[in-house]
Structure 1
Amino acid sequence: MVGKKSGRAALREEGLAKTDNNLDLTSWPAVSMINQKNYYTEYLKRDEQFLAYRTIQEENTQRMVKEARDRDRARAGVVLDDDRMEDVEPTSPEAHGSTFIVIHPGSQNLRIGLANDPIPKTVPMVIARKAKENESEIDGGEPKPKRIKLEGQEDEDVPPEKQFGAEFSKEYMSMALELKTRMRNNKRRLMPNSRELVVNFNRRAHPEIITEHNDPQRVEWTEVGGSSAPEYVCGQAALRIPEKSQPRYRLLWPLRNGWLNEKDYQQKNPLWNDLYLIIEEAMKTELGLTKRKDWQKYSCCFVIPDLYEREYVNRCLDMLMREFGFRRVCFMQESVAATYGAGYSMACIVDIGAQKTSICCVEDGMCVEESRVNMKYGGSDVTEAFMKMMLYDHFPYQEINLKRRYDFLLAEELKHKFCTMNEGDIGVQLYDFHLRASGQDTRKYNFKTYDEPMLALMAYFRPQIFNHDDKLLGRRHLVDRSYDLYDGSPNDPFSIAQSQVLQHASQSYAHNGSIAPVTTSAPTSAAAPSARASFNLLKQLHETDATPRSSVAGSPAPEGTPKPERAGSQDAPDDSGILAPSAVDPVAEKLKLADERDRILPIMSLDAAVFASITQGARAEDRKVRDFLGGIMVVGGGGSIAGFNSFLEEKLRELQPLYVKDVLIGAPPRDLDQQVVAWKGGSVFARLSNNGNDSWIYQKEYELLGTKVLSQKCMWNW
């Protein structure tokens, strides 16, 4: 009898036993698990792992190799041909900065030049294009400043005192009374009937006709007639095109009030194209860079506002890199550039431009973010106010229209020649000017002024007299705001000081019906919010931005959980019957607040805005407040008026008597023109450590990262 076999033996006899043939189950290499308690990585731990650092190191290495090669060739007596000499960058002290272009665009003028130039070239920021009507013929030929038409009377029958409305007349007379009181307190003698003398003389003044061949300063006009008329004309030549030219040309300004001009453009691409053409023509005509292949050898320092818009900066970077093809580009804020140009390490910069006024505290070469202020008035508003005041006092040239090119240039000339902030110059003064228009004989006018040259500048401290009707027209019509990549919330820079300006503006709208806070091209059809509601929304916006929060996208709710209602919905009762507050979407709230902020025009008196900026810049430290008050510097063409700094000092002392001894406004050093201080700072920065400066954006970095490289390259918190 055969013995019973075990199960293992049976499997072995039948060939079913499991055997190990040492064959791997897969050809992929097996990776052992790491020890979670003790592991180490070198990712982004060394400078060499950053693209920006490697780019600088490569540039330095290439420069050192080129210099060594040039020295060896010089010792060996090797002479390079012309083509190879063009590739060698100048290294002599005389040529230092000759390959750096500094560009500072403004609403009215463009400052451009090489970094080694003593002063920049100034070009009007305007382009003339063929059109059916010129700018003075559109809207039915309505003049600027706008006159009020009285019912039942012709335009010429309306007396000058009533042409601008009762509101302007009230503000004008109030400012005149304030100036008279001020001058009496300062022991200035005034004639009791000064205004009557001016009005009576101007009413009887008639022009003297001067033939063109007897005018030694006749104007050379830009000839555009015939079949070879150019499609566009840029710069100063555009302002000299005759009004009645055939074909007609219309002037377009790509930048208005410190913003992109969305009012006069119907599409986005023509707006960017005009901005590019103006800079391109300036480079060719003013800098002599006519060959596009030479542009890739140059670096560009581009000056932008303190409170910039991200879309504007992103598009400028694309334009400078792609269309101009510069070797490298860096951006610099205006206030920081002004401190570089003046040599200040700590200052409060008051930049009064043609159509915007910006204020910012700068400390150790950095803008104090919460101190930035950007207000939408400037020298052009003063020009218009000056003309309205002169017309009110029967200015002999009643037909002046600032939409006409020669009248606009005449008004700017009159402001620069006659406006002053010195009280000793105020009185009945006799002046004259020459009116030159294409196809007409020169006319010489005699006129008298009294207090208008100073009252027009005092409007900086009473900006409600300015005309703000069309400054918000077209806002966000073409260029949308910037949004965060992750949660979609608006991320354009903002500040506490700017919120205070908007608060003041919203309250002014509530008390002054002449200024409308809502743009006519608003994206929503909802009614305008009240002034108080606007300020509360802005306050919430600042609190939302300042308070850290977790990600918007939270953990998913269990199945069956009802979805919460959006912000603005009514509260819903819970199971117990008690009303529970509705959930608030922070992103939707930010979008709503940004829309409300865009509906308010930032306007505040200059002295109050300066102190608001300094208060936020000092961060409640009394010592810093005194330091900033003692380091105020006024730059820009709008403040380059005799006696302006002294007047601003007095207004600040009156506003804050506690700091009477601390207020001091300094002028730019070395008799530097206030209009070019910011450009000069850009040229200084471009030449300082140009090879070791990590704020330069190179073509290689831009090709890899695009506009995202700005977050790594900007000198401030992008």
Structure 2
Amino acid sequence: MVGKKSGKALRDEERTDNNMELSSWPQIPAINQKNYYTDYLKRDDQNLAYRLQNEENRARMAKKAKDHDREQAMKNEAAEGDAEGDGDANMEDAEETPAEVIGSKVIVVHMGSQNLRIGLASDALPKTIPMVIARKAATNESEDYDEPKPKRFKQDDGSELEPEKEFGPEWSAHFGRMSADLKVHMRLNKRRMLPNSKEMVVNYNRRTVPEIISEHNDPMRAEWTELSSPPPEYIVGQPALRVPDDSKPRYKLYWPIRSGWCNEKDYASKRALFLDISLILEDAIKNQLHLTSKKEWTQYSCVFVIPDLYDKSYVTSVLEMLMREFAFARVCFIQESLAATFGAGFTSACVVDIGAQKTSICCVEEGMCVENSRVNLKFGGQDMTETFVKMMLHDHFPYADINLRRRHDFLLAEELKKNICTMVEASVSPQVFDFHLRVAGQDTRKYTFKAFDEVHLAPMGVFEPAIFDNENKIDGRRTLIDRSVDIYEGSPNDPTSAAQSEILTAIAPPLNTGKTEPEPEAQTPIRPPALKVEATPRSSVAGSPAPEPTSTPQPPTTATAAAPTTAPRPPAVEYRDDIMPVFGLDNAILTSIAHAARSDDKKMRDFIGGIMVVGGGSLTQGFHAFLEERLQALRPGFAKEIMIGTPPRELDPQVVVWKGASIFGKLSTTNDSWIGRLEFDRLGPRLLSYKCMWAY
């Protein structure tokens, strides 16, 4: 061990550091790891969205105070008795320009699978245009497929089958079973029926022949779209549906939204898909709202309606399109069911929205959608139309060549469904109807036909969706638009619902037990006794108890989904893309209400007594009374409380959602939901988690 050096020895040593620091940078002592704290981005006032909102509120308050002071000063000057000329001059100087109508600078957009509804928030009703675009192509949509729609089976040698057999034995058996059940139900209700009604219809339709009407003698002849020279690259809306199928050049129809999802089946890229959406919106704004100059759009705001169970990637893409391409000043989003309650003026309700290809159910309580009650089913009015055509063809419909892929046949089938279909049992009897077939370049043909129970059984398919053609509805899903995932965990973060999870679990394929037994007849799935579902979405902080098993409605004996009841079920599944969400409407409504009430008897009675049905699919005559009867049969204990309501003030059920969104856009309390250009340029889609009124 070396001993210590004396002070004299140390002084004698030569210094080499010149007594200078190694660096001019200040030396910061190490932080105490046991006691440190930071509040960075932990307070609302540190977030850009909240800062801009507070600045806007302060500016509004300052303007209000200045206006108040100016008004008081003018009153004082008038009271002092100044000269009339000076007073009038001061009044003219202080007089401001007249205030614009509330909502006149707000564009409200509601996109559906079949129709687009758009208008200013100050308008009483929206403009409705088909959500379709026709583009130049080598072939049209009917020539792209070898088989017509609805699909017919043929014999092995290619020859056609009899009409009773061309849709397969399973579908024919299901149709016959539904017809027999209807006869039993009508006899129980003391309604007289002829025993040979079906034979009368078939025999009449077999021998009927069309009547030829020359075009100049047809007062209701259709106006077909005339192509200009040179022909346009694309045609949007109603003119697209009126382009003749044999036009030169050919045009092919594209529907960007199918079954409430983005149509990934018919598009080659995501960019082409959203390009068509933007072209349809642009054409509607220019031609329907008469805002022809894009420079004006920067002064307008936009309220966009999204589904209750939405895809986050779809919402972010729409936000990017509205802010970048359309350059709106502000954008906000509202969910469909919440907008429906705004339009009807209800504070709490169970909203059932039956669209063209999608049916959504959601319970709304005190201005908020109950997250676990959201249900999204993939059937609607177009499925009723196709099923009605199949049933009529099964009974020897005289126009046997009908093909819903052709534009004139599609429009004809929609018209027949709206005019003929009914759910009033008193109207179910053999009746004679007629229609005019109008094809471009051909004489009009007038057909007469008889229909019996087809007019009732086709719309009844929403309660027994196995009669619908659900084969190709999920083709192409997730081929262009990937599922949104959490950036930290990598797990899917799209919104989930306990009610939707329960329905998907009920119709999920059975577990493979290794036994090869024939599948039993399709019956309604029964909920497993212990179903572990996620009680709240991932974005929620606190969990909620799952509903009691007794609160779930017991399914009826009729078939509503093709799934065996005795097979073991897999664990509860979340929103899966390989399972088609098709379930009986009555069971789905009660499942949604059960998850919204969460075993609370008072909430159960409130929701079950406040069911509001909206959407074009609910316009079938007698639909509300029939749905009420079905629900009462499932829950006899609540028979007196069950009530199906309609939108008040005789408002069209098809525009209730748009009307609610327009009211939402005019409210001064919605400032929290608006996304401005400055904050979007800085934060992008991350703003949605701060701006949406629900847990995004």
TM-score between the two structures when normalised by the length of structure 1: 0.82
Tell me if the contact between 1:8 and 1:17 (Cα under 8 Å) persists in the aligned partners.
Answer: no
1:661 to 636, 640, 654: 640
Paired AA for residue 49 in structure 2: A
Distance 2:9 2:27 in 1: 36
2:153 to 148, 156, 179: 148
For 1:172-191, what aligned pairs fall within 5 Å after superposition? 172-191=175-194
1:440 to 439, 442, 458: 442
1:711 to 669, 674, 689: 689
1:55 to 29, 52, 57: 52
Identity, % of aligned positions: 56
Q: Give the match for residue 306 of structure 2.
A: 304
Report deviation, 1:356.
0.8
Report deviation, 1:499.
1.5
Q: Give the match for residue 623 of structure 1.
A: 602
Report deviation, 1:408.
0.2
Q: Give the match for residue 686 of structure 1.
A: 665
Q: Give the match for residue 201 of structure 2.
A: 198
Paired AA for residue 460 in structure 2: M
Report deviation, 1:193.
1.5
Return 159-168 or 630-639, whichever deviates more. Answer: 159-168
Report deviation, 1:544.
11
**Is 1:634 matched up with 2:637?**
no
Distance 1:321 1:332 in 2: 17
Report deviation, 1:394.
1.3
Q: Give the match for residue 460 of structure 2.
A: 458
Deviations 1:96-145 (A, max 9, x none): 100011111011111111101111111101000011110010123x1100
CA, structure 1 residues 213+39, in 2 after alignment: closer, same or farther (shift >3 Å)?
same
Tell me if the contact between 1:121 and 1:286 (Cα under 8 Å) persists in the aligned partners.
Answer: yes
1:643 to 609, 618, 622: 622
1:477 to 476, 479, 488: 479
For the residue of structure 1 that corresponds to 2:409, the secondary structure is helix
Paired AA for residue 267 in structure 1: S
For the residue of structure 2 that corresponds to 1:192, the secondary structure is coil
CA, structure 1 residues 641+33, in 2 after alignment: closer, same or farther (shift >3 Å)?
same
CA, structure 1 residues 544+289, in 2 after alignment: closer, same or farther (shift >3 Å)?
closer
For 1:26-425, what aligned pairs fall within 5 Å after superposition? 26-29=23-26, 43=40, 47-60=44-57, 75=90, 77=92, 91-92=99-100, 95-140=101-146, 142-152=147-157, 154-155=159-160, 158-224=161-227, 226=229, 228-425=230-427
Deviations 1:496-515 (A, max 9, x none): 11122212322599987999
Q: Give the match for residue 8 of structure 1.
A: 7
Distance 1:624 1:340 in 2: 20
Paired AA for residue 232 in structure 2: P
Report deviation, 1:621.
1.3
Distance 1:382 1:509 in 2: 32
Tell me if the contact between 2:111 and 2:305 (Cα under 8 Å) persists in the aligned partners.
Answer: yes
Tell me if the contact between 1:341 and 1:680 (Cα under 8 Å) persists in the aligned partners.
Answer: yes
Report deviation, 1:91.
2.8
Report deviation, 1:59.
3.4
CA, structure 1 residues 289+655, in 2 after alignment: closer, same or farther (shift >3 Å)?
same
Tell me if the contact between 2:350 and 2:593 (Cα under 8 Å) persists in the aligned partners.
Answer: yes
TM-score between the two structures when normalised by the length of structure 2: 0.85
Distance 1:541 1:624 in 2: 21
CA, structure 1 residues 593+188, in 2 after alignment: closer, same or farther (shift >3 Å)?
closer
Paired AA for residue 500 in structure 1: E
Paired AA for residue 428 in structure 1: P
Report deviation, 1:24.
6.3
Tell me if the contact between 2:497 and 2:537 (Cα under 8 Å) persists in the aligned partners.
Answer: no
Report deviation, 1:152.
3.6
Deviations 1:224-269 (A, max 9, x none): 264x110000100100000100000000001101111111112221
CA, structure 1 residues 492+74, in 2 after alignment: closer, same or farther (shift >3 Å)?
farther
Q: Give the match for residue 674 of structure 1.
A: 653
Deviations 1:127-172 (A, max 9, x none): 00011110010123x11001110234623xx221111111111111
CA, structure 1 residues 508+42, in 2 after alignment: closer, same or farther (shift >3 Å)?
closer
Report deviation, 1:52.
2.0
Report deviation, 1:453.
0.9
Distance 1:377 1:389 in 2: 17
For the residue of structure 1 that corresponds to 2:583, the secondary structure is coil
For the residue of structure 2 that corresponds to 1:138, the secondary structure is coil
Q: How many residues align?
A: 637
Distance 1:147 1:492 in 2: 38
Paired AA for residue 704 in structure 1: R
Q: Give the match for residue 699 of structure 1.
A: 677
Tell me if the contact between 2:385 and 2:413 (Cα under 8 Å) persists in the aligned partners.
Answer: yes
Q: Give the match for residue 493 of structure 1.
A: 495
Distance 2:9 2:403 in 1: 115
Distance 2:249 2:385 in 1: 30
Report deviation, 1:20.
11
- List runs of 5+ in structure 2 lacking aligned partners: 72-87, 513-517, 542-570
CA, structure 1 residues 180+336, in 2 after alignment: closer, same or farther (shift >3 Å)?
same
**Is 1:599 matched up with 2:607?**
no
Tell me if the contact between 1:504 and 1:603 (Cα under 8 Å) persists in the aligned partners.
Answer: no
For the residue of structure 2 that corresponds to 1:139, the secondary structure is coil
Tell me if the contact between 2:497 and 2:536 (Cα under 8 Å) persists in the aligned partners.
Answer: no
- List runs of 5+ in structure 1 lacking aligned partners: 1-5, 516-530, 550-591
Paired AA for residue 243 in structure 1: D
For the residue of structure 2 that corresponds to 1:300, the secondary structure is strand
Tell me if the contact between 1:225 and 1:247 (Cα under 8 Å) persists in the aligned partners.
Answer: no
Paired AA for residue 381 in structure 2: G
Distance 2:394 2:362 in 1: 36
Tell me if the contact between 2:134 and 2:234 (Cα under 8 Å) persists in the aligned partners.
Answer: yes
Return 423-432 or 107-116, whichever deviates more. Answer: 423-432
Tell me if the contact between 1:225 and 1:245 (Cα under 8 Å) persists in the aligned partners.
Answer: no
Distance 1:480 1:40 in 2: 39
Distance 2:382 2:49 in 1: 42
Distance 2:666 2:167 in 1: 51
Return 494-503 or 299-308, whichever deviates more. Answer: 494-503
CA, structure 1 residues 214+625, in 2 after alignment: closer, same or farther (shift >3 Å)?
same
Return 303-312 or 30-39, whichever deviates more. Answer: 30-39
For the residue of structure 2 that corresponds to 1:669, the secondary structure is coil
CA, structure 1 residues 60+542, in 2 after alignment: closer, same or farther (shift >3 Å)?
closer
Deviations 1:190-247 (A, max 9, x none): 1112112211211121111111111111111111264x11000010010000010000
Report deviation, 1:69.
8.9
CA RMSD of aligned residues (A): 3.3
Distance 1:512 1:277 in 2: 48
Paired AA for residue 154 in structure 1: S
